Homo-oligomer: A and B are copies of this chain.
Amino acid sequence: MNGELICEGKRVHYEIHGSGERTILLLNGLMMTTASWKPFRKELSRDSTLVLTDFFDQGRSERLPDGYTHSVQVALVEAVAQELERRHGRSRFALAGLSYGGEIAIQYTLAYPQRVRRLILANTAGRTSSWLRTVGEGWNAAARSGSGEHYYLAAIPGIYSTRFFEERADWMAEREQALVRYFSQPEVLERMIRLTDSSRDYDVVHRLGEIACPTLILSGSEDGLVPVTEQQLLHERISGSVHVTLNGSGHASMYEVPDAFAALVAGFAALGDQSISI
């Protein structure tokens, strides 16, 4: 089912798939929408209930005026969480996020630890490093040129691995066509700029030690955007976390190694509240 709620005076789109006892709340990456998870809906809702949502400036959620930071997206997640509790009696969930979604997931967990049974961070950093900030400036410079083609060339190759580009050449060609068309809408590029800017000053490295729930860190060995070293930093700081590398995968790990991604998200989310003790 699809739902809508109001947060910060704006409409927020969310979806509920399946009816399993346990709940997975899965957060989009920057350039994704709830529709991006279509290939995963069935598998991720087989034994659990899967909840998806569009962040502000994504998909079917409303636009936000310029100048916001991650905190408003954290508020959006809590609005969805309250709806889940009120309407569906689910007050706790496994929280998963990819990249931008992982960054929001970390901050949500710090703000609402009682809601998060387990945390899954895919291709996620604990901060916007000066390097990543500069990369984002490159995306925004391309966006300001107004050319969908330039934006595609600036933002997309860094997301995929060399291997995937070759093995899935047809898929990438279709995707290029679709994305260039999509990015050619001025309104879309404005949203991309705002979402990118909202990450500008993100840095929670010093607070990672507060995370207490079982946490899975999921890296792509070929991730050119959030390199494995940034994810090792998460692993070192989040006590008791486990760190898994998807070999051969770039940043968009859910598309590059879908079975491994789905297995890890569904499998880790389904485990008990405590880590397995041997």
- Seen from chain A, the residues whose Cβ lies within 8 Å of a Cβ on chain B are 39-40, 42-43, 46-47, 129-132, 134-135, 137-138, 141-142, 145, 147, 149-150, 153-154, 156-158, 160-163, 165-166, 169, 171-172, 214, 216, 221-222, 224, 227, 229-230, 232, 235, 242-248, 254-255, 257-260, 262-268, 270-272, 275-278
Contacts and interface: CB of A to CB of B under 8 A. Distances in A.
Given A132-B162, A153-B138, A166-B130, A263 B259 contact: no
B278 A267 contact: no
A245 B244 contact: yes
A227 B216 contact: no
Nearest to A176: B134
B130 A165 contact: yes
B229 A163 contact: yes
How many subunits of this chain does the assembly comprise? 4
A162 B230 contact: yes
A142 B144 CA distance: 12
Nearest to A261: B276
A37 B245 CA distance: 24
A245 B222 CA distance: 13
Contacts of A257: 242
B259 A271 contact: yes
Contacts of A247: 232, 235, 242-245
A271 B166 contact: no
A46 B270 contact: yes
B216 A259 contact: yes
